[in-house]
Amino acid sequence: MRTLSILGATGSIGSSTLDLVRRNRKDWRVVALSANRNVEALAALAREFAIEVAVVADEACLPALREALAGSGIEAAGGAQALVEAAARGADMTIAAIVGCAGLAPTMAAIEQGGLIGLANKEALVSAGGIMTAAVTRTGATLLPVDSEHNAIFQCLQGNCSRDVRSITLTASGGPFRDWSSAQLAAATPAQAVRHPNWDMGAKISVDSATMFNKGLELIEAYYLFPVRLDALRIVVHPQSIVHSMVEYRDGSTLAQLGPSDMRVPIASVLAWPARMETPCDPLDLAAIGQLTFFAPDEDRFPATRLARAAAEAGGAMPAVLNAANEIAVEAFLRGQIAFTRIAAEVEHVLETFAPCAPQTLDEVLAVDAEARRRALALMPCG
């Protein structure tokens, strides 16, 4: 039996992970769970899995969590520092699934323990890629990608030599607006943006999928995770979300990983690595699917991938600036403050007006993140 901590237990990744754990109780002992402010769900999970510590990121929710766990013997904690301390307790595996840059410090604390890290927080690696990968090397931690695209690449690279890789292709569903005109995009509502055609995801990542910023962030993440040049990373729109990514080798062979649009598949790959485990997912029926289609992304209607590639090429602090500005713009869109098409425009403005020095420490990354957020907020109506 191995120990497991889940940072972000009540979100889609955390829920899918715990579904697999329920089906394999003999293999896992859950020791720590965290949530943002969903006290009721967190307390129920804490009691179900008899964990050691439950942490709520919003410290104002801590009294409610303590009351919900009264008499259980489970420790309740709250706030950003409590998240870091829970991650630093150490577990055989930590699933890092806190959305946004808020997950950076806890993920780094888990890496410092030198164990297995199932990384589902792309924003952390985008914002602090060099610092995070250096910490992985120094501590001997193992970083396993949970995102379906990066997990697919990881699987396609297994047993092959990195110098034989010619290119890596990330697939994108194109989101709910892939066929919309520019005029339609300008009028898109938050309710429409979070209605993803293939995946069941949280609001932020669903909007990122609709803008294609999700794929831009994944391109930067892939640059840090895999040993390829930036110009060897490609993006192709694949509406069916069956092929999750592809790796092309110098002999002309291309390996692809296929699977259903269910995050339990890549999560199972990580939990069982280097072996395999059963999942409740239905097997692919390619005959029923009928056809798989692919086309190039439209960077005029969806400039996010162009902005992300430019930020990656600039390097230094620019990926962190891109991520922070996007988080603020997405929040503003979800609150109805700005139009859908303004998300990329606001991010581009921050990138053009803020070019800080490359951060060398985690504190410097967080300082860049804070200033980029301040500048993005200043652009928002009533911001």
Query: How is residue 311 written in tokens?
Result: 């930020």
Side chain identity at residue 323, one-letter code: N
Dist. CA 117–CA 141, nearest whole Å: 7
Binding residues, by number, are 10-13, 37-38, 121-123, 147-149, 173, 196, 202, 209, 214-215, 218
Going from the C-alpha of 141 to that of each of 4, 82, 110, 124, the distances in angstroms are 15, 22, 9, 16
User: Do 146 and 241 touch, CB atoms closer than 8 A?
Assistant: no
Binding residues for 1-deoxy-D-xylulose 5-phosphate, by number, are 122, 148-149, 173, 196, 209, 214-215, 218
Query: How is residue 313 written in tokens?
Result: 């090429």
Binding residues for Mn(2+), by number, are 147, 149, 218
Q: How confident is the model at residue 382, as a pLDDT?
A: 66
Binding residues for NADPH, by number, are 10-13, 37-38, 121, 123, 202
CATH class for the domain made up of 2-146: alpha beta
Q: How confident is the model at residue 136, as a pLDDT?
A: 96
Q: How many CB atoms neighbour CB 333 within 10 A? A: 25
Q: How confident is the model at residue 97, as a pLDDT?
A: 95
Q: How confident is the model at residue 383, as a pLDDT?
A: 47
For the chain, 383 residues long, give each residue's pLDDT as a single digit of tens.
999 999 999 999 999 999 999 999 999 999 999 999 999 999 999 999 999 999 999 999 999 999 999 999 999 999 999 999 999 998 999 999 998 888 999 999 999 999 999 999 888 999 999 999 999 999 999 999 999 999 999 999 999 999 999 999 999 999 999 999 999 999 999 999 998 877 777 889 899 999 999 999 999 999 999 989 999 999 999 999 999 999 999 999 999 999 999 999 999 999 999 999 999 999 999 999 999 999 999 999 999 999 999 999 999 999 999 999 999 999 999 999 999 999 999 999 999 999 999 999 999 999 999 999 999 999 998 64
Q: Where are the domains of the chain?
A: 2-146, 150-314
